[in-house]
Structure 1
Amino acid sequence: MYGVPAFVKLAEDLKLPYICGMEITFNDDVLCLYVKNENGYRHLMKITTAYHNDTFDEKLLKRYSEGLICIIETSNAHFKQLFAEDQQKLNKRLFKYDVLFKNNFYLGISVTSKEGIQYANELRNFVTNHPYRTVAFPKIRYLKSDDAIVLAIVEAIANEDKDDILKEKSLVGQDYFMTLKNYSKIYTTAEIAETRAIVDGVTFSFHQKRGQMLRYPVDDATKTLKSLCAESLKNKGLDTFDIYTQRLNYELETIIKLGYADYFLIVQDFVAHAKNNNILVGPGRGSAAGSLVSYLLNITEIDPIKEELQFERFLNPFRQTMPDIDIDFMDTSRNDVVEYVREKYGHSRVANIVTYQTIQAKQSLRDVGRVYNYPSHHIDLLSKSLSNPKLTLKDSYRRLPQFKKLVDSDQYFLDIVSLASKIEGLIRQNGLHPAGVILNEGPLEEVLRLSVDFAGHYISQFELDYIEDQGFLKVDFLALRNLTTMAHCVDLINAGKDKPIIDKFNIPYDEKEVFELIASLQTMGIFQLESSGIKRAISLLKPSC
């Protein structure tokens, strides 16, 4: 179900209804399970997680069949063989599915050839003597018939068999999206109407909020948060200043009103765990540094009142999205902190977030070169002429004279680029978001499509934007090499000393010499201060202490 969010968005952009589901193989039958309502969606989440975790069985299918539509594929070899050899046995199997899914079980008719028409008619005759319904169920794998070559190239890339060389430069396939007029020639009016009725009967909305704020394990999060902040304000000697007490009361009122007391307690807890376990944590970045509550909870180390930072940039009563506190950890220990969160709240409540890498211009050339066995030096010649990696092949042809000249010089190069442009922009592989982690009050397998990594940890199959749209809490655990370098440097300085010279957890930030160094533009290797743009800003601002 990796592609569901993008599919839903496109359908909505086109103002078309949508239906979501996935295909599974069960007892050699190919079952397509579709979501009919919210209950069905939550059941499908459990089924698909179990299916990809190799814990799926018939009992689980029975338990979570409600709210799902099941269409059995009749065009696969196993079904065809059983239909030809033992229709009585087939009927018993179909009857079990019909009972299981009640009024939501269908036989999917798929026709892609003249032989398929005869087979479809035989299935229709079979159904007239049994209590099953057929639906128009064409297998659509590409938009236009000549897009079959794109699928062939992609499958060859996935195959990664160097001896399997693709020869066809163009293909015409049957698994394309036809017009209703053409479908009406293949399927009966009743089958098309049944297919449409299935879609019309769907009440599921992908955009429903399914995430729940993770609860911190205390009886009263609001009371605990207020107590921790008041105690810290007193310990820092700030409780006698009206500006601090007023600001704290205002922030607490906003946080509690928006329902985020647990969130702040969760973040302060894993930050405290890191510091207590000798893991260096960043002083704070982004708008979270404008929060006095964050400062009092030792999530950040910047006094927002002293530095005149605004809380509203971070959180305000009109904000529609979850708060976002980015926390930097030593890159060698970042995963230790995430593992602490898993152990504390349960593995089923924590998940990493998937990312997708698309095929860029140079990669498309390399992939086409491999699957068609083009000489590597010819591919290198084309790749080197792509002097701007941000441009697509089409834009490169328009804007890069060297690339245009090479492509125009020979039909051979034009053919390579034409093939490469067909796969450019498609998703090639997935990865993990470098920082984002989902935290949820209930088990994630009940509300989110998940896969499982080699360590048994959950990974969301939906990307970050769609996760946040559905109300899931995302926390950024950032791995920062600079913190690891700092920790090692301080450890080396303190090595062999009776008393530490520097406390790496209490490094002062307001020393005159530090600002003089920054103002001198000697910022190479200093996190976020070494880029040319920041150096220009430093020259203008001339920071001082």
Structure 2
Amino acid sequence: MSAPQSVHLHVHSEYSLLDGACAIDSLAEQAASFGQSALALTDHGVMNGAVEHYQACIKHGIKPILGCEIYYAEKPTPGASGKNEHNHLTLLASSDAGYRNLVKLCSDGFLEGLERGKPTVDMAQIDSHSEGLIALTGCLASRFAGRLADGRDDEARAHVDQLVGALGAENVYFEIQNNGIAAQDRANEGIVRISREMGGSLVGTGDVHYLRHEDHRHHTALLCVQTKSTLADPRMIFETNEFYLRNNEQMAESFKQWPEAIASTVEIADRCNVELELGRQLIPRFLPDGEDEKAYLAQLVGEGLRERYGEPPPAEAIERMEMELAVIDRMGFNAYFLIVWDFVRWARENGIVVGPGRGSAAGSIVAYTLAITDVDPLRYDLLFERFLNPERVSMPDIDIDFSVRGRERVIQYVTEKYGRESVAQIVTFGRMFPRQATRDAARVLGHDYGAGDRLAKLIPDPIQGRPPSFDDCMKEGQPLRQACDDDPTAAQIVDVARGLEGVVRNSSIHAAAVVIADRPLTEIVPVQLADANTTDEDGNRVYKVVTQFSMKPVEQLGLLKMDFLGLRNLDVIEDALDIIERSDGERPHMATLPLDDEKTYAMLSRGDSGGVFQFESEGMQDALRTVKPTEFDDLVALVALYRPGAMDQIGTYAKGKR
């Protein structure tokens, strides 16, 4: 007889930082392989993985359930001393309205309730955003189960009465777990009793923190990384090895005393139906409603065309302009170009240095005539289709370089123009690649720093920013493989490090990306506060609002993402121009500098390119000495060739040149 269907409703991924050890796609794949029809994601206080989870579940043919294990805290009594208590509470979105409410609660936890690094919400906020939400009363760290484990039954009952008052009795399920922990067993007795007294439903959860039973040791190592402790003397540990993704048979065995708790998992999954709208275009209008953005853009481009090419402009430029404007209009990007034109114009007018342009946007004559870029696409025969292609509908991507000193001022201008609630930077995540994982593994095993550092230095450097994997490093003949073969301690360190490889280690602010929405961001995407690694004039730490979704999910939702890059080279160039002006009384203009200066090419041919943007790496200096550039097109070719795969052709190019 086959086991009854079950669904995991309390699951942590790697976005429960240094606590969850599961990759989202692996979770969805494993649940699907068990024949489970749905899977929830309930990370601690955040929804960082919601879009990724949604797509992974769809990919593996199961229903995604979007949730969050929030930090619940009652508002402190005025004048009260001591720390405010934080408790866990599992919330699931049962509808699109519920998802929007969960996004709002998750955001408000950071914007209004950040306490000791935890985003907290209170019962009044839950009550205000209750539509479409289902609550599970929570794990041992919840107020309900924790009070019952401590014998404070009256307080537990009062809390669940509040939950029922906020969400409705039909939307509160009494969460039990069977994890072999004595305190959980005590709590379960009270949970079952109160559930029956109130006519409520039990639901069984696994509080999943790692994927497989055998991953427990790797998860313990991860907790030691979080708490800066060792496996021999951990500050935090899961007492039992029961927090993995169980199959239907294991779930049925765990909850055989309460079979209705398994049935409730399927009932809740059936109730949860959220559909994320991906692939939209949520570009804010630049002009007020009713005004013609297409006509305004055409007017600006026409004026810029005459400034760039003279009066009358050549037929080739007019034809290219008309073609590009037609494509831009057809794809719905008139406002996009106006927004970029506006903040680049503002930056120049306010003395902020703007780069000449980079990437595929340099192939647009519209960008050139709007002075977004300073590279003539006709002169260099650049393709517009590499930038915008009607056959491949995707948001334009213009990377704008600003001086480091001026970048924040441009972001501030955009924030004030479109509204603080509609502009944010984007979160990014740092992962434990082999070098970091090796150092962390050595530390949690109790070895001195040198032991991990020596092994980490045997791992090859990243190529074009891509670090090698442990699989690469452990191939026959690799230095790390040799060290592990010769030294049991090294093998032990690498074994633990492989369990940490690729796991998210920290979140931070993306170096360049800024999102601009056509409405308050929390109507679309959850936001959080991120440490800006600086302080204000009073010495207080500065936090910035960032989207909880990283760059790719933000783009998939259709939000307008801009890259505001801070380029130190521009500050150096500006300082050099200032010095020249003070010395000679004249200031050179970068756009009019000759591109055929023999001394400059001689310098580059020697590989003497320290501080020259995109030419300063050791590998690029070798390439310069190989090619010995004598004209600007040689530099163009080098930048194009200096990437994986194409690098092999640098020598061929050099031979052809000579």
Structure 1 length-normalised TM: 0.89
Aligned equivalents of 1:534, 1:254: Cα separation in 2: 39
Partner of residue 70, structure 1: 135
Aligned equivalents of 2:444, 2:435: Cα separation in 1: 15
Partner of residue 545, structure 2: 458
Partner of residue 178, structure 2: 111
Aligned equivalents of 2:104, 2:604: Cα separation in 1: 58
Contact persistence 1:165–1:371 (CA under 8 A): no
Partner of residue 503, structure 1: 589
Letter of the 1:72 partner, please give it.
T
Q: Report the CA distance shift for 1:343/1:170 in structure 2 as closer, same or farther (over 3 A).
A: closer
Contact persistence 2:179–2:240 (CA under 8 A): no
Q: Report the CA distance shift for 1:190/1:154 in structure 2 as closer, same or farther (over 3 A).
A: same
Aligned residues with identical type, % of pairs = 27
Letter of the 1:12 partner, please give it.
I
Letter of the 2:300 partner, please give it.
L
Partner of residue 124, structure 1: 192
Matched, 1:184 2:252: yes
Letter of the 2:90 partner, please give it.
C
CA deviations 1:96-123 (Å, max 9, x no partner) are 3224223322111111128555753553
Shift of 1:89: 5.5
CA deviations 1:440-495 (Å, max 9, x no partner) are 11111221121113545321222211111111111111122221111111111111
Q: Report the CA distance shift for 1:87/1:365 in structure 2 as closer, same or farther (over 3 A).
A: closer
Partner of residue 101, structure 1: 167
* Among candidates 215, 218, 241, match of residue 147 of structure 1: 215
How is 1:328-407 mapped onto 2 (pairs within 5 angstroms)? Answer: 328-387=401-460, 390-407=467-484
Letter of the 2:347 partner, please give it.
A
Partner of residue 232, structure 1: 304
Q: Report the CA distance shift for 1:299/1:73 in structure 2 as closer, same or farther (over 3 A).
A: same
* Among candidates 252, 263, 275, match of residue 205 of structure 1: 275
Q: Report the CA distance shift for 1:90/1:521 in structure 2 as closer, same or farther (over 3 A).
A: same
Structure 2 length-normalised TM: 0.75
Aligned equivalents of 1:62, 1:266: Cα separation in 2: 39
Q: Report the CA distance shift for 1:359/1:490 in structure 2 as closer, same or farther (over 3 A).
A: same
Shift of 1:496: 5.3
Contact persistence 1:348–1:458 (CA under 8 A): no
Q: Runs of 5+ in structure 1 lacking a partner?
A: none
* Among candidates 172, 175, 191, match of residue 243 of structure 2: 175
Q: Runs of 5+ in structure 2 lacking a partner?
A: 1-46, 75-85, 114-120, 532-541, 636-658
Partner of residue 362, structure 2: 289
Aligned equivalents of 2:209, 2:471: Cα separation in 1: 25
* Among candidates 38, 55, 66, match of residue 20 of structure 1: 66
Aligned equivalents of 1:401, 1:176: Cα separation in 2: 34
Aligned equivalents of 1:139, 1:42: Cα separation in 2: 24
Give SS of 1:33's match.
Answer: strand
How is 1:416-427 mapped onto 2 (pairs within 5 angstroms)? Answer: 416-427=493-504
Contact persistence 1:451–1:461 (CA under 8 A): yes
Partner of residue 528, structure 1: 614
**Higher RCO by CA contacts (8 Å cutoff, separation 6 or greater):** 1
Contact persistence 1:448–1:460 (CA under 8 A): yes
Contact persistence 2:175–2:191 (CA under 8 A): no
Shift of 1:428: 1.3
Shift of 1:266: 0.9
Partner of residue 274, structure 1: 347
* Among candidates 44, 57, 65, match of residue 11 of structure 1: 57
Give SS of 2:274's match.
Answer: coil
Q: Report the CA distance shift for 1:25/1:282 in structure 2 as closer, same or farther (over 3 A).
A: closer
Question: 87-96 or 474-483: which moved more?
Answer: 87-96
Question: 84-93 or 148-157: which moved more?
Answer: 84-93
Question: Pairwise CA RMSD of aligned residues?
Answer: 3.2
Aligned equivalents of 1:401, 1:170: Cα separation in 2: 36
Partner of residue 20, structure 2: none
Contact persistence 1:529–1:535 (CA under 8 A): no
Shift of 1:214: 1.8
Q: Report the CA distance shift for 1:295/1:198 in structure 2 as closer, same or farther (over 3 A).
A: same
CA deviations 1:218-273 (Å, max 9, x no partner) are 43322221221222334442445333333222222221222111111111111111
